[in-house]
């Protein structure tokens, strides 16, 4: 029997240890390959000259690659612990450290090679459906099928290097003393978690402060830029870590002081939890982070297509709005004639003609009540001679209702406010609606407004394109804005968010399930021996099943609960930027995940009990 045969037989005899690692690696490589297939699509440049989609896909692929790197490192650590007795047996048989490292290296490179080839084959099979989905979601009609030679080469080379580097580094870290320690790991007690209340409180205070500062858009956040976001990310990770570890430590200590501690199997469950509280806490922490990633991605996913039409209309109230600057009367006539001629061919539409005067230095607009009522996207108003009305100029910004008193317009009294935009957002900071006689006394230049509202405007993209190719923005001469084009641009961005968010959520969920599987498999043999001894003491199968059920529920549902609380705490902090419907959609998404977790829990519990107690 040669060395390579020993390596292959070792893999085949220990399939359970490698199967999750293999499948997770294949899944990560497939996702990377599919992203690369789009990112380097030969027709991508024709879709977007600035290659925004391409850059986004490349960044997503890079993120997946980095995540795979970290995941493989964790997997190898899990393998070393799982294979501790196997490696120790080889040492006792006289194998040298060089031979053990060589064996581990070859095992992992064989698995890596098979995983890469399997992933590429699966990717080629899935690619046509993936490109069809991308064409539909990203609304990119040119995303046809092609032979992704470049994507195949990039995937093969990058992941070969990744596995080679990681495996080489990890095998170099294997030492004789560590293997001996791993060999007797089943009789070595874990280190207990040390109390660290000050670290917990400090990390929570700092993370809340940073999050609050970013939500409120404080000046110092902008001055530090990306550094402040990196700091928030690191502090949040620390805060979650201390919350999980210290929370588990506190829960064990409190439970030990409760009368329920002595009831039924609670004492054995709590004692078992305390003995493994460090490893349990680490797994709960990792699962919490990954599930939080899943929830954030799915929240982005749910919000992608939500309320895009309403948000677009809040920024641009009209299908088309043509603003003519003073002195542009002749050109405006030609432009309006072309716009209306084009619109006449598309079906029914409403036309609104108005005007306003502007203090250009302060960007404060004045509009007569007659001109205000000629616009069709709000309720008409009536003003008496000494009243004025205020209308918003920026979406989401409450207009200043007092600046009108800086102008010699008499003693006017405030009578009401329109908080929604009456014209394109940002054209003016605020509009003061005044009586017609007062408006005539204002000496600022007059801007003409021509606004059009189309029926079924979301399906009139071709009309917007026809007009925009003929009439473009010319500063100080004319402005044209179309909510149709804005809607298309927003839908495209949301489509990309939907696409990437969905893929990343799948990766995070796969990693979470894989890590849980690794942990259960790693401790299975030790737990089997322990529960075998407990059964000899007199505990029944039902009682041991109760203990296992509680332990698995702790590992599965506590991360879910912590991630959910963190997500909703963050969303509540951003309540001024998030609608109630978004909370409802997020709650629906979390409910679906909870249902999935409950179903998975029963499957995992059944399989684990069969291996543990039989």
Q: Where are the domains of the chain?
A: 1-188, 258-316+484-614, 319-481
| Higher-scoring residue by pLDDT: 7, 334 | 334
Q: What is the DSSP string of 138-193?
A: TT-TT------HHHHHHHHHHHHHHHHHHHHHHHHT--HHHHHHHHTGGGSPPPPP
Q: Kindly report, residue by residue over 232-247, the tens digit of the pLDDT.
A: 777 778 888 888 888 8
| Of 409, 372, 364, nearest in space to 389 by CA | 372
568-584 burial, b at 16+ Cβ within 10 Å, e below that, comes to eebeebeeeebeeebee
Q: Kindly report, residue by residue over 429-473, the tens digit of the pLDDT.
A: 899 999 999 999 998 889 999 999 888 888 888 888 888 888 888
User: What's the confidence (pLDDT) of residue 49?
Assistant: 43
User: What's the confidence (pLDDT) of residue 215?
Assistant: 62
Q: Does residue 176 register a pLDDT over 80?
A: no
User: What's the confidence (pLDDT) of residue 292?
Assistant: 86
User: What's the confidence (pLDDT) of residue 519?
Assistant: 78
| Of 365, 351, 379, nearest in space to 453 by CA | 351
- What string of H, E and C letters represents the secondary structure of 515-571? HHHHHHHHHHHHHHHHHHHHHHHCCCHHHHHHHHHHHHHHHHHHHHHHHHHHHHHHH
Instruction: Supply the pTM of this predicted model.
Output: 0.71
What is the Cα–Cα distance from 64 to 510, expressed in whole angstroms? 12
User: What's the confidence (pLDDT) of residue 579?
Assistant: 63
Q: Kindly report, residue by residue over 79-114, the tens digit of the pLDDT.
A: 666 666 666 666 666 666 677 777 777 777 888 888
Q: Sort strands 320-324 and 387-392 into parallel, antiparallel or unpaired.
A: unpaired
In eight-state DSSP terms, residue 427 is S
Q: Does residue 500 register a pLDDT over 80?
A: no
* Residue 45: half-sphere exposure toward Cβ, Cα within 13 Å: 2
Q: Does residue 359 register a pLDDT over 50?
A: yes
Is the Cβ–Cβ distance between 450 and 351 less than 8 Å? yes
| Higher-scoring residue by pLDDT: 303, 30 | 30
Report phi then psi at 94, rounded to 5: 105, 5
Q: Does residue 366 register a pLDDT over 90?
A: yes
Percent of the chain scoring above 70 in pLDDT? 77
Give the residues across from 417 on adjacent strands. Answer: 390
Average pLDDT, integer, range 246-270: 82
- Return all residues near 435 (Cβ < 8 A) that are at least 6 apart: 368, 369, 383, 384, 385, 387, 388
Structure tokens that stand for 412 in this block: 């006017």
Is the Cβ–Cβ distance between 26 and 118 less than 8 Å? yes
- How crowded is residue 250: how many other Cβ atoms within 10 Å of its Cβ? 14
Percent of the chain scoring above 90 in pLDDT? 6
Q: Does residue 573 register a pLDDT over 50?
A: yes
Q: To 5 degrees, how large is the angle CA 606–CA 610–CA 614? A: 155
| Higher-scoring residue by pLDDT: 423, 197 | 423
Q: Does residue 66 register a pLDDT over 50?
A: yes
Q: Does residue 367 register a pLDDT over 90?
A: yes
| Higher-scoring residue by pLDDT: 181, 286 | 286
What is the Cα–Cα distance from 121 to 115, expressed in whole angstroms? 10
User: What's the confidence (pLDDT) of residue 355?
Assistant: 92
* Integer angstrom CA distances of residue 608 from 413, 523, 545, 549: 76, 11, 10, 10
What is the Cα–Cα distance from 267 to 261, expressed in whole angstroms? 5
């Amino acid at each position: 029997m040669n060395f390579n045969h020993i390596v292959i037989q070792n893999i085949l005899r220990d399939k359970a240890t490698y199967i999750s690692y293999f499948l997770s690696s294949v899944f990560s490589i497939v996702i990377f390959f599919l992203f690369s297939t789009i990112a380097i699509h030969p027709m991508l440049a024709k879709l977007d000259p600035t290659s925004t989609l391409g850059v986004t896909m490349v960044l997503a692929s890079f993120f997946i690659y980095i995540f795979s790197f970290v995941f493989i490192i964790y997997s190898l650590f899990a393998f070393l612990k799982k294979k501790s007795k196997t490696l120790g047996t080889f040492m006792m048989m006289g194998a040298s450290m060089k031979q053990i490292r060589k064996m581990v290296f070859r095992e992992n490179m064989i698995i890596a090679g098979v995983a890469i080839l399997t992933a590429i084959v699966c990717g080629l099979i899935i690619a046509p459906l993936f490109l069809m989905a991308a064409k539909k979601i990203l609304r990119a009609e040119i995303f046809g099928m092609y032979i992704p030679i470049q994507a195949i080469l990039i995937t093969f080379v990058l992941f070969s290097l990744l596995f080679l580097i990681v495996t080489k580094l990890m095998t170099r870290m294997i030492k004789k003393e560590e293997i001996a320690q791993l060999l007797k790991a089943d009789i070595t007690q874990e280190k207990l978690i040390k109390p660290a209340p000050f670290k917990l409180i400090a990390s929570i205070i700092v993370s809340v402060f940073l999050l609050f500062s970013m939500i409120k858009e404080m000046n110092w956040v902008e001055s530090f830029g990306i550094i402040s976001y990196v700091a928030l990310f690191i502090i949040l990770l620390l805060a979650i870590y201390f919350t999980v570890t210290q929370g588990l430590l506190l829960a064990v200590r409190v439970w030990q002081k409760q009368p329920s501690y002595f009831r039924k199997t609670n004492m054995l469950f709590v004692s078992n939890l305390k003995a493994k509280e460090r490893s349990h806490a680490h797994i709960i922490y990792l699962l919490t982070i990954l599930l939080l990633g899943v929830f954030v991605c799915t929240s982005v996913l749910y919000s992608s297509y939500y309320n895009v039409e309403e948000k677009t209309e809040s920024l641009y109230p009209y299908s088309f709005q043509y603003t003519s600057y003073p002195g542009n009367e002749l050109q405006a006539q030609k432009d309006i004639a072309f716009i209306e001629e084009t619109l006449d061919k598309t079906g029914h539409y409403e036309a609104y003609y108005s005007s306003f005067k502007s203090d250009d230095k302060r960007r404060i607009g004045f509009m007569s009540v007659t001109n205000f009522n000629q616009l069709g996207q709000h309720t008409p108003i009536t003003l008496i001679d000494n009243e004025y009305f205020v209308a918003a100029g920026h979406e989401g910004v409450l207009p200043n209702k007092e600046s009108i008193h800086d102008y010699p317009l008499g003693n006017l009294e405030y009578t009401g406010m329109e908080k929604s935009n009456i014209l394109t957002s940002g054209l003016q900071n605020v509009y003061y609606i005044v009586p017609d006689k007062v408006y005539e006394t204002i000496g600022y230049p007059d801007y003409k407004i021509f606004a059009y509202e189309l029926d079924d405007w979301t399906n009139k993209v071709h009309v917007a394109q026809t007009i925009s190719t003929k009439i473009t923005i010319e500063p100080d001469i004319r402005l044209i804005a179309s909510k149709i084009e804005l809607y298309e641009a927003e839908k495209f961005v949301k489509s990309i968010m939907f696409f990437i968010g969905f893929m990343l959520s799948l990766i995070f969920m796969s990693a979470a399930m894989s890590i849980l599987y690794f942990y259960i498999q790693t401790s299975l043999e030790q737990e089997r021996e322990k529960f075998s001894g407990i059964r000899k003491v007199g505990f029944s199968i039902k009682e041991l099943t109760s203990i296992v059920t509680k332990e698995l529920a702790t590992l599965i549902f506590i991360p879910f609960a912590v991630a959910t609380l963190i997500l909703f705490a963050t969303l509540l902090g951003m309540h001024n930027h998030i609608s109630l419907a978004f909370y409802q959609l997020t709650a629906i998404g979390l409910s679906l995940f909870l249902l999935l977790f409950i179903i998975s829990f029963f499957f995992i519990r059944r399989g684990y009990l069969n291996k543990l107690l039989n």
